[in-house]
Structure 1
């Protein structure tokens, strides 16, 4: 199976197409770039006009066209290396995806591979219903390309298809044509509309490749929420991402670490959190609240986690159940950006309601434990015997007894 890529960075800035020249041997070549589309193209019902562009470490900034066997033969394509295919999704603006160049460079920085970018701007700029229909034809064209690349030395398991939004389901369609024998599929925010209730033969599914993963970061808007891979990652619960405003007809910003998958489980959900700034990774802490005395109705509390410099580094709102509840422990995972220092203090605020009077809450213990990562872990830290009746309570964390 193809080696897994180490990291992906998707940027939201608009990049206008550029043209470069590169040299392979002594032969100058013109670089190819994305096409552009417009609603005039749509009204004229033009052909899908798919083109395939190759980047390698020999030509990282200058894409070579590989639309047929002759192009492949005259390019830097190396059939002994893994091949990554990138497929964008629905494009309402008819312009080049702003993140695609960065993604290609990140893949080449991570390993020596062939990176093939699939440009189907013409077919992806239309009414969404029509674009979904066009995606089937795109899948056929991508399948033909893969067979051409295999005739130049590639193997089925050396292919890694990376599709964002609608492109993720196209990757699944291609994988089914190869009976699930392609090495890997990564679905970045697989599209939800038209696919949320679709059967396994009509959307991305674990059977589409040897290993299928999906990364969900917009499942409450245009992304699909159901699991569609062997492993599904839900960044920040798979919904709104920190530092990202709600975009118009686009998906959120994502970041992902490397993943080792020697064993392919079936539809495992993995939840993790990110920060709003690069490199986006955060530590994860388990918060446990052991409480005794409860009020006559549910109450809301807000907890702020502070660094040693009293910077606000994480926030959490919780519902404390009423005294009839059989529960006695609340457990939550919280993110913590270590750039701001150690987590030393917390404030607890009992939120008021115009309908309900605040009642005292007796918390026996609050315990915070850093989830194990790379063999290093701080000892658990605790606060004991808290009687919460004031609006805001300040407490310092200490080593647990």
Structure 2
């Protein structure tokens, strides 16, 4: 079965390619992109024994590649300026940090460097043929297809898919960073898969406006290798359902866990074996900056207003040290009815272990007119990431619209659901 783990997003050492003691990624110029370049594929091998100095390899010389270990191929994509991808060194280092493996950087910058995307795309199958010839030699030396891992960015994802097709879907794993439609066993959609927080919203953001969203998938993958955070995703039919807290069934005791973004996504493979077809979409939100982690809580609110209230909730948490974190639950107005509990999914960019104070603010979004009040019988805060933590409650609160109300929570009764 094709084991394809697709990361949907937004997207994608260093000198010339002359003979060097330590081969480095081909550096070209915008001039090269304008006049075009002929295809030339360089393969550079990194292992834990040569972390900083690559070894040139090819289909007739595997070098120090250990065929008994996993081999990860890093395949870049379209390069309209000719510059080396800034993330390649971090990705090599991160992969070798988490596992003792072979890492092969596939440098096809002479071919990918052009201002015309279709010219680069037309060369992807030729790159795939070069990689197949190399993998065939690995197999002849005793390697296993199960140990082949392709990591492709942008057009590199297409190349990885072509290689997988050449082996009838028997490669161990493919991670594709740079495609929107669902194709893989797991398709991850950060922030819904469109605009990413922290990226420029207008063309006045310069070059980052064109590449930041698309490139974010690479940095999200990198966060799973070295950053001190684990990004949890939630299997769901839509981003709206996820934001509305309807997709947390993977946290129930009957299931081991929710899928993790990045390198450890394949740990969820056993769950997928029970699905037909073995595919799922998973959604999650991220912070604006590294390491991008968000921490999820449910805010359960039971109200006793006579009339229905509709509006947004802003919640802030503070610990004893004074650290604060805030979540605005405003993607769509919540409907508060008398004696009806509303469970709101709050996302914070910090995980405060011991919450000393909580503040709530209610808003209808109206600028003119009277200020409404939200009368709360009970508020309950519960962590999704750490369900073992005590749930925090507060009773008999009255929120005046657009006024922040601060209070100290108490432990909820243990028998309370």
Q: TM-score range by the shorter chain?
A: 0.7 to 0.9
**Matching of residues 127-138 of structure 1 within 5 Å:** 127-138=116-127
CA shift at 1:283, angstroms?
Answer: 4.0
Residue 284 of structure 1: CA displacement?
Answer: 3.0
**Helix, strand or coil at the partner of 2:25:** coil
* TM-score using structure 2 length: 0.72
State the partner residue of 1:219. Answer: none
Any conservation in 2 of the 1:38–1:94 contact (CA below 8 Å)?
A: yes
Cα displacement string for residues 343-393 of structure 1 (whole angstroms, at most 9, x for unaligned residues):
2322222335225543222223221112255xx721111122222225221
How many pairs are equivalent? 345
**In the TM superposition, what is the alpha-carbon distance from 1:176 to its structure 2 partner?**
1.3
Which residue of structure 2 aligns with residue 100 of structure 1? 88
Partners of 2:376 and 2:34 lie apart in 1 by: 65
| Cα separation, 1, equivalents of 2:354 and 2:287 | 16
Alignment of 1:277-316 (within 5 A): 280-281=292-293, 283-293=295-305, 298-316=310-328
Question: In 2, are the aligned partners of 1:92 and 1:125 still within 8 Å (CA)?
Answer: yes
3-state SS in 2 of match to 1:175 = helix
**1:344–1:228: structure 2 CA closer, same or farther, 3 Å change rule?**
farther
CA-to-aligned-CA distance 1:12-53 (integer Å, 9 cap, x gap)? 9xxx6269xxxxxxxx97111111233443454432212111
Native 8 Å contact 2:30 2:81 kept in 1: no
Q: Alpha-carbon deviations, 1:137-156, whole Å to 9, x = none?
A: 32232222222222232121
1:342 equivalent in structure 2: 354
Higher relative contact order (CA 8 A, sep 6+): 2
Identify the structure with the greater helix proportion: 2
Secondary structure of the equivalent of 1:150? helix
1:163/1:186 contact within 8 Å kept: yes
Q: CA 1:90/1:363 → structure 2, altered by over 3 Å: closer, same or farther? A: farther
Contact map agreement 2:298 2:343 (CA 8 A) in 1: no
For residues 2-401 of structure 1, the aligned pairs below 5 Å read 17=14, 30-69=21-60, 71-72=61-62, 75-126=63-114, 127-188=116-177, 190-191=178-179, 224=180, 226-239=181-194, 247-250=208-211, 251-252=215-216, 253-254=219-220, 255-256=223-224, 257=230, 258-259=264-265, 260-263=267-270, 265=272, 266-275=278-287, 280-281=292-293, 283-293=295-305, 298-318=310-330, 319-321=332-334, 328-338=341-351, 342-351=354-363, 352-355=365-368, 357-373=370-386, 377-390=388-401, 391-401=403-413
CA distance in 2, matches of 1:133, 1:295: 63
Q: Distance in 1 between matches of 2:337 and 2:302?
A: 16
CA distance in 2 between partners of 1:294 and 1:52 (Å): 70
Q: Would the aligned equivalents of 1:310 and 1:345 in 2 still touch at CA under 8 Å?
A: no
TM-score, normalised with respect to structure 1: 0.74
Partner-residue secondary structure (3-state), 2:347? strand
- Give ranges in structure 1 of 5+ residues lacking alignment: 2-11, 20-27, 192-223
Residue pair 2:295, 2:385 contacting (<8 A) in 1 also = no
Q: Is the 8 A contact 2:71 2:103 kept in 1?
A: yes
**Whole-Å Cα distance in 1 between the matches of residues 99 and 333 of structure 2?**
49
CA contact (8 A) 1:288 1:368 kept: yes
Q: Deviations over 1:318-349 (max 9, x none)?
A: 354457899741331423523x6532322222
**Closer, same or farther in 2 for the Cα pair 1:105/1:356, shift >3 Å?**
same
Specify the alignment match of 1:7 in structure 2.
none
Q: Secondary structure at the match of 1:146?
A: helix
Q: CA RMSD in A?
A: 3.5
- Contact 2:303-2:338 within 8 A present in 1 as well: no
**Distance of 1:292 and 1:325 partners within structure 2:** 4
CA distance in 1, matches of 2:182, 2:376: 37
Tell me if structure 2 keeps the 8 A contact 1:313–1:337. yes
**Partner-residue secondary structure (3-state), 2:122:** helix
Give the drift of 1:115: 0.5
- Asked if 1 retains the 8 angstrom alpha-carbon contact of 2:150 and 2:160, the reply is yes
Give 3-state SS (helix, strand or coil) of 2:39's partner. coil
Name the CA shift for 1:369/1:110 in 2 (closer, same or farther; >3 Å).
Answer: same
Residues 46 and 90 (structure 1 numbering): CA distance in 2 closer, same or farther, change over 3 Å? closer
